[in-house]
Amino acid sequence: MAETSNRIEIAFSRLKTEGRKAFVAYIAAGDPSLDQTVEIVAALERSGVDIVELGVPFSDPVADGIVNQLAADRALKAGATTRGVIETIKAIRERSQIPIVLFTYLNPIYAYGYEQFHRDAHQAGADGILVLDLPPDEAAENAELKPVAGLNHIQLIAPTTPEDRIPSIAAKAEGFIYYVSRLGVTGARGDIPQGISEQVDRIKQHSEVPVCVGFGISSPEQAAQVAAKADGVVVGSAIVKLIEQHGSDADLPSRVEAFVKPLVHGAKGA
Amino acid sequence: MWPETNAFFAHLLAGSTSGVGCGKMSSSRSLETTSQPDRHGHFGRYGGMFMPETLMAAQFELIEKYEQTKNDPAFKAELDALLHDYVGRPTPLYFAERWTQQLGGARIYLKREDLLHTGAHKINNALGQILLAKRIGKKRIIAETGAGQHGVATATVCARFGMECVIYMGKVDMERQALNVARMRFLGAEVRSVTAGQMTLKEAVNEALRDWVTNVDTTHYILGSALGAHPFPMMVRDFHRVIGVEARRQVLEKDGRLPDHLVACVGGGSNSIGLFHPFLEDEAVAMTGVEAGGYGIAPEQHAARFQGGRLGVLQGAKTWLLANDDGQINLTHSVSAGLDYPAVGPEHAYLHEKGRVRYTFATDDEALAAFQELSKTEGIIPALESSHALAEVKKLAPSMGKDAILICNLSGRGDKDVAQAARYVFGEELKF
Read off the pLDDT of residues B219-272 as tens digits, 9 standing for 90 and up: 999 999 999 999 999 999 999 999 999 999 999 999 999 999 999 999 999 999
- Model ipTM? 0.92
B151: nearest Cα among B119, B115, B105: B119
State the amino acid at position A102 in one-letter form.
Answer: L
Say what the pLDDT of residue B237 is. 97
Q: What is the pTM of this model?
A: 0.92
| B53–A135 CB contact, under 8 Å | yes
B60: nearest Cα among B44, B88, B40, B75: B40
How crowded is the C-beta side of B53, counted as CA atoms within 13 Å? 24
Angle at B412 between CA B73 and CA B415, to 5 degrees: 130
Per-residue pLDDT for B1 more than 50? no
B 274-293 near A (Cβ less than 8 A): none
Domain range for A206: 7-268
CA distance B328 to chain A (A): 5
Residue A225 lies in a domain: yes
Of B315, B318, B327, which has the smallest distance from its Cβ to A108's Cβ?
Answer: B327
Q: Going by DSSP bridges, is the β-strand pair B310-314/B316-321 parallel, antiparallel, or unpaired?
A: antiparallel
SS3 breakdown of chain A: % helix, strand, coil, rounded to 5?
A: 45, 15, 40
The pLDDT of A61-70, averaged and rounded, is 87
| B53–A157 CB contact, under 8 Å | yes
Q: How many inter-chain contacts (A to B, CB under 8 Å) are there?
A: 122
Catalytic-role residue among B70, B76, B122, B134? B122
Residue A47 lies in a domain: yes
What's the CATH number where A121 sits? 3.20.20.70
Choice among A36-45, A180-189, B302-311 with the minimum mean pLDDT = A180-189
| DSSP state for residue A32 in the 8-state scheme | S
**pLDDT tens profile A85-98:** 999 999 999 999 99
Catalytic-role residue among A31, A45, A53, A257? A53
Per-residue pLDDT for B11 more than 80? no
CA distance A132 to chain B (A): 6
Edge-to-edge strand ranges of the sheet holding B42-43: B42-43, B46-50, B316-321, B310-314
Active site residue B366: no
CA dist B46 and B44 (Å) reads: 6
Residue A1 lies in a domain: no
Residue A174's CB: how many other CB atoms inside 10 A? 18
CA dist B118 and A38 (Å) reads: 55
Per-residue pLDDT for A78 more than 80? yes
**pLDDT tens profile A131-178:** 999 998 898 888 888 777 889 999 999 888 988 999 999 988 999 999
Percent of chain B scored above 90 by pLDDT?
A: 78
Residues 6+ apart with CB under 8 A from B426: none
Which residues of A are less than 8 Å from B319 in CB distance? Answer: none
Active site residue A201: no
Per-residue pLDDT for B58 more than 90? no
Q: Cβ(A203)–Cβ(A176) under 8 Å?
A: no
Q: Is B21 on the interface with A (CB under 8 A)?
A: no
Per-residue pLDDT for B414 more than 50? yes
Taking each continuous run of H as one helix and of E as one strand, the counts in chain A are: 12, 9
Residue A51 lies in a domain: yes
Q: Is B327 on the interface with A (CB under 8 A)?
A: yes
CA dist B386 and B244 (Å) reads: 16
| B57–A160 CB contact, under 8 Å | yes
- Scanning chain A, the segments in alpha helix (DSSP H) are 7-18, 34-47, 66-77, 82-93, 106-112, 114-124, 139-144, 166-172, 196-204, 220-227, 237-246, 252-268
CA dist B373 and B101 (Å) reads: 13
Percent of chain A scored above 90 by pLDDT?
A: 76
- At residue A184 the predicted structure's pLDDT band, cuts being 50, 70 and 90, is low
Could you tell me which chain B residue has the CA closest to the CA of A82? B326
Which H or E run contains A55? strand A51-55
**pLDDT tens profile B400-412:** 999 999 999 999 9
Which H or E run contains B143? strand B140-145
Catalytic-role residue among B32, B144, B246, B373? B144
Q: Is B429 on the interface with A (CB under 8 A)?
A: no
In sequence order, the β-bridge partners of residue A130 are A103
Say what the pLDDT of residue B105 is. 98
Say what the pLDDT of residue B8 is. 39
SS3 breakdown of chain B: % helix, strand, coil, rounded to 5?
A: 50, 20, 30
| SS3 of residue A33 by DSSP | coil
Residue A2 lies in a domain: no
Residue A74 lies in a domain: yes
**pLDDT tens profile B176-223:** 788 899 999 999 999 999 998 888 888 899 899 889 988 888 999 999
Domain tally, chain A: 1
Residue A236 lies in a domain: yes
Residue A104 lies in a domain: yes
Taking each continuous run of H as one helix and of E as one strand, the counts in chain B are: 16, 14
Say what the pLDDT of residue A4 is. 74
Say what the pLDDT of residue B429 is. 79
Say what the pLDDT of residue B202 is. 87
- At residue B306 the predicted structure's pLDDT band, cuts being 50, 70 and 90, is very high
